[in-house]
Structure 1
Amino acid sequence: MIFEEGPDFNLTTHDHNLLDWSEDSISYIPSFLDDPYTLPDAIAGCECWPQDQEEANLIHSPPSTTPVVAPPTTSPPSLPQPEFSKKRKLPTSSTTLDKAAAHQNRRRTVADSGDEDDGVSEEDGEITRKQGNGRKGERKGNGGNSGSGNKEVRWAEHLLNPCATAIEAANLSRVYHLLYVLQELACTSGDANHRLAAYGLRALTRHLSSAGIAAAAAGVPGQGGGPADDSPSFASTEPKLFRSALIKFHEVSPWFALPNSLANASILQAVTLDSSNQRPRPLHVVDVGVSHGIQWPTLLDALSRRPGGAPALVRITVAGAAAPPGPFSAAPPGYDFSSHLLRYANSIDLNLRIDRADTLAPRSLSLARRETLVVCAQFRVGHGGPEDRTAFLRSVRELNPDLVVLGEVDGAGESDDRFPAEFGRRAELLWKFLDSTSAAFKGRDCAERRVVEGEAARVLEWGAAAAEGCERWRERMVGLGFREERFGEEAVEAGRALLRKYDGNWETRMAGAAVGLGWKGQRVSFCSLWKPHTRSQ
């Protein structure tokens, strides 16, 4: 598919439009994107950003006060030897556990003094840290090199996955041993491995409590006081920080920004003329996604600049409640993007209407004749079980839309009901997220990063978000009566241009007709276009 008319959908305007909307004005300060960690005076007081934003960007957690719990009196079994090289191995004895505890105390002491660590190595059975020269109050960080995507340095998964297996087998002595090591290494402000260990520790101890062995969980290290127990999530975040985190994350990471931009380009293409008066038909977008309004300013701006004129009416119906809940779907109480988006639309002379619906029933959506109907489902359908996914997509098919945009996590393998296997898949997805955010935020431990990472960590406790790949989604859509469409060349090229502003480890690839997003050669997500096989006009 190609654009038959209209302006090129220039995705490089993404930040421009986003900042316009967030400031409720048409002013734009380019220097803000040149240094995203320093706010210009002109927008420092904007209600979309915390008043002390410059300080908030450098918030560090105080040294952990989590008590170190002694390992059980029974001698714990040795850890399974992971597939490290001969120079790399994890703690396997109680002596090494003592050294790991000492290491943790040293790390806390270093954090107090301001000389942050900038790397981790495991050699000769010991966990040691390479000392950096970071300034006091600022984590030196190592960008995206904290885990490098290489299995040899992804030690957190080599602790978390055997622990999940031990919990499933009710092998409590092994559980105690592994959780003790995890507790000593977990840190939500460390590198990707330390942060994954922290979030994984929280998820495993909670699962231990709900798996019928709650009495044993009371004595598990980290239970009720682990390093990630107070990590923020979208639902618990103050609305201003929530919006700030959304905008900042889109600026520094393409995790959602690229699929959203591809979706917007395709929606713009779907706008067609009304045969009766040669004007664009009203556009109705059913939003079943996780953007919380961040996706739409760029689309509205492109519609307003369309040579043929904007549709007489643009409707956005937020129908997230119709999809299974999952990570990134919640918003804090009191957050409402509608008023900001309506003011922005008014500033560019666009007639916008925003509604909300709890279901995808035609009556709930107030469908109208001769409108272009687009269902945009981004990162929401993949939660719940396969039956839930099929039921949701069937309800989409019954709407007989002009276009369906489906974006999801691109996992590998089929769903597995066993806890260890499913936990391992979700831990791998979270690793990619944490490793990529290390690069995106340049190793800085700021409030916005903590919010998005705390929310992403919910994938360890929700449904099997990473269980299915693009191929399985394609089979499901075809089986429900959809046919796949290709993205226009302009949209794909603009997406690649957008990706160049982010870390060089990101890449796009064609997955059939879909566009896939990858991090360090590993699949992350895909975005695809669909139309019903037959559609009545």
Structure 2
Amino acid sequence: MLFDEPDLDLDPGHILDWLEDSMPSLPSLLDDLYGSTDISDDWWGSDPFEAINISTSNSAENLASPVSSTFTSSPVDAFLVYDEPQEPVPVSDVSKKRKAPDDHIQMTQTAPQAKRSNGNKKGNGKSTKENSNSGNNKGGRWAEQLLNPCASAISSGNVTRVQHLLFVLQELASPTGDANYRLASHGMQALLHHISSATNTPAKVMTPAITFAASTPKFFQKSLINFNDINPWFTIPNNIANNAILQVLSEQDQKSCKTLHILDIGVSHGFQWPTLLEALSRRPGGPPPLVRLTVVPPTLDNHQIPFANCPPGYDSASNIYRFAKNLNINLQINRLDNCPLQSLNSQVISSSPDETLIVCAQFRLHNLNHTKPENRTDFLKLMRNMDPQAVILTDNNMDCSCTSCSSFDTRFSLNLDYLWCFLDSTSVAFKGREMEERKLLEGEAAKALINTCEMNQKKEKWGERMNGVGFVENAFAEDVVDQARALLKKYDSHWEMRVDEKDGSVGLWWKGQSVSFCSLWKIDAKTSDSYSV
């Protein structure tokens, strides 16, 4: 295959095999890339910033390229789209800028001037300076203008473009600074991970990202408490889920004293439940005679699922038990370790007809395969056969990024967009401060770039699947939505809640971009009693 004749249907692994065959010095590239900016490897050529003439006759990848054919000054200038002519800036100045505090970073020389978001702002919180200067306007998101073309070059087989973009990214990427620098850092490491995993060659990383599993229980707990207090990414879905559980209980006969059984398939790590227990203790007539909490953590082989794993030794049950005891609530917690979701049934979770079973599935079901094998629909059928009184489904509201639905560069772009939203919101939440807690949460979110199980779907697709196995969507009660809106007011004003008038689901948005959805489902009385899997 020639450089100017890329195979548009090429499997991501094929290009990497080709890279390995064409350039036997690839391992030294992966080593040298982080060791020094003085690249002497023959693969780079004598001058990585000299003029590069890229053929446009046979390369579809170059048709959409914003890259100039020659480099005149800073390497980043050749890869960015400008709203208006910009003055060149030396590479040394760019390096200095990436180390400046968030509030003082000026992107006028290295990236387009960001504009204020046009999204509806429902919250009443104050917007920070950084929030105003680097929103979801694509013009201000210069890191994606380097990372996405690099992923496209890998897919199309343009090795010259790959090497050049990696070099520019290495100059700009930083685990500190504003969201663009951090996105460049995480994105570049994901691209190198993709190359090294396919060629079986180790790649060094600039700064290994901190993740939940690599942290200590104490730091993990402290970080999540702080994050939930300043960012509603999980707090609002948890609040809606808890109040939806109360809504389901209020619809039952108050005289029927049933056990409340919650099947927890989520990422809250126990932080969601004290608020619910407190609300149950204040119910007219008191709490249920027994509250059962069955927790299903990810299996050991699913360690790359963002936000789902916890550090070794972390135990939330003891704290929840102590809290429940103070409220005089009879609580029972059962943890099903290393139990695949496809293995769940009424017997495994020990449910019975005389209890109120509510399934709370949050940010986990999108990791189930939806092609071959069709684990996703199979699990929904299993869940239907458990005969729950309600299912609360919360997940990312984005298109699928699995290998069956899209190419590598498309998958990478979708997950990059998701990560930008998270990094931008954490920049605002932490007010630009460089804190280890922020690095932990961002390192966990960045796992989406390399997790092969990121098989998201839009809420409409989830609705079709749920309807297909015998569920019907219910609207959240008015007080459920009102309480969530009231809680959202404590956060930055760029956060927004939107209620879908058609199905009653609730969406969480950041600067006009959809982040997640929450939906409430009950068994359709018109369907049969069970579904075969």
Cα deviations by residue, 1:426-485 (Å, 9 ceiling, x for unpaired): 000111111111111111111111111100000101146474211111111111111001
Q: CA deviation at 1:273?
A: 8.8
Deviations 1:49-76 (A, max 9, x none): xxxxxxxxxxxxxxx9853253543655
Query: Normalised by the size of structure 2, how large is the TM-score?
Result: 0.77
* CA deviation after TM superposition for structure 1 residue 171, in Å: 2.1
Please tell me whether the aligned partners of residues 263 and 376 of structure 1 are also in contact (alpha carbons under 8 angstroms). yes
- Give the aligned partner of residue 24 of structure 2: none
Provide, for residues 272-328 of structure 1, a one-character-per-residue CA deviation record: whole Å limited to 9, x for no partner: 6987x9253110000000000010010000001111211010010001337966110
Residues 16-52 of structure 1, C-alpha deviations (whole Å, 9 max, x = no match):
xxxxxxxxxxxxxxxxxxxxxxxxxxxxxxxxxxxxx
Could you say if the C-alpha distance between residues 402 and 348 of structure 1 is closer, same or farther in structure 2, counting changes exceeding 3 Å?
same
Per mean C-alpha deviation after superposition, the further-off stretch among 321-330 and 364-373 is 321-330
- Unmatched 5+ residue regions in structure 2? 1-32, 55-60, 77-88, 114-127
Tell me which of 459, 476, 492 is aligned to 2:465: 476
Query: Of residues 510, 529, 532 in structure 1, which corresponds to 2:520?
Result: 529
Alignment match of 2:308 (pick from 314, 329, 337): 329
How far apart in 1 are the matches of 2:317 and 2:180?
Answer: 38
Alignment of structure 1 residues 136-147 onto 2, 5 Å: 142-147=129-134
Counterpart Cα distance in 1 of 2:518 and 2:216: 30
For residues 357-368 of structure 1, the aligned pairs below 5 Å read 357=336, 358=339, 359-368=343-352
SS in 2 for 1:235: helix
Among 320, 335, 339, which residue is 1:341 paired with? 320
**Residue 272 to residue 96, structure 1, CA distance change in 2 (3 Å):** closer
CA distance, structure 1, for counterparts of residue 68 and residue 259 of structure 2 = 61
The code of the aligned residue for 1:490 comes to D
Q: Secondary structure at the match of 1:264?
A: helix
Distance 1:362 1:92, change over 3 A: farther
Do the aligned partners of 1:410 and 1:524 also contact (CA within 8 Å) in 2? yes
> Residues 107 and 363 from structure 1, CA distance in 2 versus in 1: closer, same or farther, beyond 3 angstroms?
same
* TM-score between both structures, scaled by the size of structure 1: 0.76
Q: What are the Cα deviations for residues 107-149 of structure 1, in whole angstroms up to 9, with x where unaligned?
A: 47x66xxx777223254xx5799xxxxxxxxxxx944235211
Match of 2:428 in 1: 439
**Equivalent runs, 1:387-402 vs 2, <5 Å:** 387-402=374-389
Equivalent pair of 2:358/2:388 in contact (CA under 8 Å): yes
Instruction: Determine the structure 2 residue equivalent to 1:185.
Output: 172
Question: How far off is 1:388 after superposition?
Answer: 2.9
Shift in Å, 1:225: 3.1
**Counterpart residue number, 1:121:** 107
1:52-63 equivalence runs, <5 A: none
Corresponding position of 1:67: 36
1:298 alignment partner in structure 2: 275
1:377 matches 2:349: no
Change in Cα spacing, 1:192 to 1:145, as seen in structure 2 (3 Å) is: farther
Q: Quick one: structure 1 residues 90 and 312, their matched pair in 2 at CA, closer, same or farther if it must change by over 3 Å?
A: farther
Counterpart contact for 1:72–1:176, Cα < 8 Å = no
Q: Which residue of 2 aligns with 1:224?
A: 204
Whether contact under 8 Å (1:506, 1:519) holds in the other structure is yes
Contact kept in structure 1, 2:65 and 2:149, CA below 8 Å: no
User: In 1, Cα distance between the equivalents of 2:90 and 2:473?
Assistant: 53
Query: Where do residues 494-509 of structure 1 align in structure 2 (5 Å cutoff)?
Result: 494-509=483-498
Decide whether aligned partners of structure 1 residues 83 and 501 sit closer, same or farther in structure 2, where only a CA change above 3 A counts.
farther
Query: Structure 1: which amino acid aligns with 2:385?
Result: E
Cα distance in 2 between the residues matched to 1:95 and 1:510: 49
**Which of residues 246, 252, 262 is equivalent to 1:268?**
246
Mean Cα displacement is larger for which, 380-389 or 397-406? 380-389
What residue ranges of structure 1 are gaps of 5+ in the alignment? 1-63, 130-140
1:506-533 C-alpha deviation (Å, 9 max, x unpaired): 1111233100011111111000000111
